[in-house]
A and B are shown apart, each in its own frame.
Chain A
């Protein structure tokens, strides 16, 4: 199993450009997530999808949109990139623990620089 994969690994954008970050998982997980990681702030949830066909906002959704294309894929779109969106973006998927709760598995991340 490849686990959670993300493309691209690195991207440089100019302010106002758009792009889509791709994420796929091969673990048959129902839930998928997008986070951003900024220095000194840990990881913050942008959007999540509890199941195919559903998406919900997280802590910092402004400036982003998502699509749960199917059970495997969950993409994050920046319609008009801003320098404040310079960050490292992580995708994750989760499975339910035997004792309750869920464990999240993370992709390797996409480093985005917006000039």
Chain B
């Protein structure tokens, strides 16, 4: 089956710093790839997605590019804000549209 590996947190950054959260996957075929965000006490929200190689997903200043050659989907943001503090999950689709999630990366942004 599929597996998703993402960098462990917590990641602590100062406001306006550059963010990278690494995500790599193993899968048969070509899965769709997702980043979800979970704010404290809430459910997961879709942040961005990409359905095929070289696609770039983007939303709210976050970006991730589907890299088939490196089986990666790293999340980046040029300038983080305190309001970006949350847990970020990378995920990949498998059979029957089931999602496989990474373990999550907690981001803490400080002033």
Contact = CB atoms under 8 A, between A and B. Distances in A.
Contact of B43 (A31, A33, A103, A109): A109
B46 A103 contact: yes
Contact of B45 (A42, A94, A101, A106): A106
Interface residues of B, number: 22
Interface stretch (A11-19, A43-51, A64-72): A43-51
Contacts, number: 60
Interface in B35-92: 36, 42-46, 49, 51-52, 89
Interface of B: 31-32, 34, 36, 42-46, 49, 51-52, 89, 93, 96-99, 101-104
Interface of A: 4, 31, 33, 40-45, 48, 50, 56, 58, 90, 92, 94, 97, 99-109
